[in-house]
Amino acid sequence: MAQARTAKEQDGLSPTLLRWLAVEPLTTGTILDVGTGSGRLALALAPRARRVLGLDVDAGALVEARRRARRAGVGNVLFVVADAEKVDYRSLGRPDCVVSHLCMSDAIVERAAAGLSRRGVLAFTAFHVDQWRETGRVSRFAYDEERARAVLAAAGFRVEKLEPERKVATFESDDAARRAAERFREKWEADDRWAGWERFVAEGGRTLTESRLVVLARRE
Ligand SMILES: C[S@@+](CC[C@H](N)C(=O)[O-])C[C@H]1O[C@@H](n2cnc3c(N)ncnc32)[C@H](O)[C@@H]1O
């Protein structure tokens, strides 16, 4: 039962990231999951780890993460409220692996570089600049391949794997396109994407792109 729940909680996590992490020896040290949210990635890795620490600035999300951990019978994960762009990762038990799923910034790369020892792993999925490109707005947290490589190299990481993960949905009509995006409406109205999406559809656009960048890098 606990296993079935853990598998379900992996739904929506990057399959590429999970595949790469599946062959990393994670069993002996501490894994730090930054921007853990409701703990999906932390809980997915817990069965293979000695200890996982999930960080998030959102205390409410961590209440849900702890509830999920209890429900799944996972005892080696701790969730802590902290700003991943400011906290010293060494003060959190010297992680030997820093992971993140959709919470990445240059400051987090720098914090990870300062907190990891040589050969320590930073593995993450970030929004790609093509994420929801049809809305005409790029998230300030999004990366393209070139910028990700540059930021990682400047911080002292050697990139071992870097791949985009992309899904482009195509719709038969403007109605179908609008219906598909309805679930994002509230968020897109709040972050000024909705008007751009409406314009795109009105001008004949019939696609919606989801795009992420998956990276595994090692501290030199
Ligand atoms: C898109 S959600 C991803 C959550 C989770 N990793 C997942 O994939 O389910 C981004 C998360 O990062 C958190 N976050 C954003 N900035 C942060 C920061 N500076 N330090 C810690 N957490 C942060 C947000 O509160 C949110 O829970």
- Provide the b/e sequence for 74-91 (b: ≥16 CB within 10 Å): bebbbbeebebeebebee
Dist CA 173 CA 7 (whole Å): 35
pLDDT band at 94 (very low <50, low <70, confident <90, very high): confident
Ligand 1 pocket, mutate which of 17, 38, 52, 57 (most atoms under 8 A from CB): 57
Residue that the structure tokens 């379900």 belong to:
8
State yes or no: pLDDT of 7 exceeds 90: no
Mean pLDDT of 51-68: 97
Q: What are 72's two structure tokens?
A: 């799944």
By the 8 A CB rule, do 131 and 187 touch?
Answer: no
Rounded to two decimals, the pTM is 0.92
Is the minimum distance from the CB of 61 to ligand 1 under 6 angstroms?
yes
The yes-or-no verdict on residue 11 having pLDDT over 90 is no
Write down the pLDDT at residue 43.
97
Q: In a mutational test of the pocket of ligand 1, which residue from 33, 103, 128, 212 has the highest number of ligand atoms less than 8 Å from its CB? A: 103
| Whole-number average pLDDT of the chain | 93
Note the pLDDT tens digit of each residue in 133-186. 999 999 888 999 999 999 999 999 999 999 999 999 999 999 999 999 999 999
What confidence category does residue 1 fall into, taking pLDDT thresholds of 50, 70 and 90?
A: very low
The predicted-structure confidence for 26-48, as pLDDT tens digits, reads as follows 878 899 999 999 999 999 999 99
* Per-residue pLDDT, 10: 60
